[in-house]
Structure 1
């Protein structure tokens, strides 16, 4: 059987407008999201279809190749969908090559066009880091500041320096909750929400729901509700969450995190628990393999900045 097209997956005609595609994606994403009882594979199909059809250039490429040997399969990863385009690919580096996301940042809408954004001044949109880790509450404030500062330093050195389009927003109010999202990293049409823990060296075990150390449960931050809520609020973005565990001695490869049998750390999941070294690898892959990784989506950035803790 011929795999369904992206248009069939979203249930829209081939001449669907951007608004129709966005509305269809929002409806399909809610129906297929694993956290709402949907199938993870089907949700992946829906997300891939939206990432292709919502980007004009990627959609034109898909329309030209549809029905031929270049058709994107229903099991393809987002990076596969754009492998034919140099600015969407994630190639291995060679002489003269530039990895996806390393090109100078472009702004959507362009500040030079008639659709120039007035929501965020260009001087603000050019800044890669917004907000700072803030002291919240009384107890444990020093530990929070320390781990949040480590995360900011890690993202600044390992992600922002290699990805000019990435924008890091610190200290967001969690939507609909009494809490905070420590860090939000936006690049193109992908948004990573990041929280952190500071724990001793050792071996931890994560099964996708619970974190263990020596058979005892270690409670990680509750980031999944914020990921789900932010996905609802930003239907144009692909939103995922990470909880990074920093070691007390600053070793990026510690602590060691084992993953339970049957859990795929590289598969879909609203929240991934990782050490610092794995966080860098996964964020680079997640952000650079999305559509238009070299762009700053100004309306999304504006909404994130509006949600910062003051």
Structure 2
């Protein structure tokens, strides 16, 4: 059994504390975009985004990730427009819950406003493309998620090539971690994400999943954002609305290989998968025990 060699396993993120040596956090996804990868604008309206956020908490999410800009290539979205999308959702969710709230952004100014509204994590999927972002996080109590990706934000990266995908992703992440540390972000506020599908083809993402322990070996909690990704669709020949089973399989393999946060769309199924995987790994006890525990079989 592989358990990641976490440098600092116990993390306090906002009002919640996680012992990542024994717990996997489930991060729900709420995208306030008209063209989001999975929900295609279902939570673009403010009230729908807020409702989805609170529903995720009701279903057991430890964490809600709120985004206002897709990762996919496309026209830039002005900082003001992005902030107008995400900050009101952060503020309303924070007013009604102590859940961990992350803002999915690469813009320092959006991160600053979201933190002021109650976000406790900045989830940057662009590998610190905005050099000012680390200063914003360093000047707060927020945690930073550093993700591997190679392209400039919202641009194409044709035919990505890696000689050794896991080694190259690990080296990239370690280099960005050093940038964050140098800016004053303590290591207990750093999380890493190998960036499944981000400037990677399906074969790359499959290999990263089975070699995820090489990322977890860096010693920082590893986030696996595998839910409904294209590598699942291409592997199973499944459209976006039929990728739940593949997403759960990828999440479980990621957890067995050291992931301690999973970013998922279907919260209830993902929470059950996480708790079951923890029990199989010996990290938690069953909720109750009656089956074959007494003189009469139950």
TM-score, normalising length: structure 1: 0.31
Higher strand share: 1
TM-score (norm 2): 0.32
Structure number with higher helix proportion = 2
- Which of the pair has more CA radius of gyration? 1
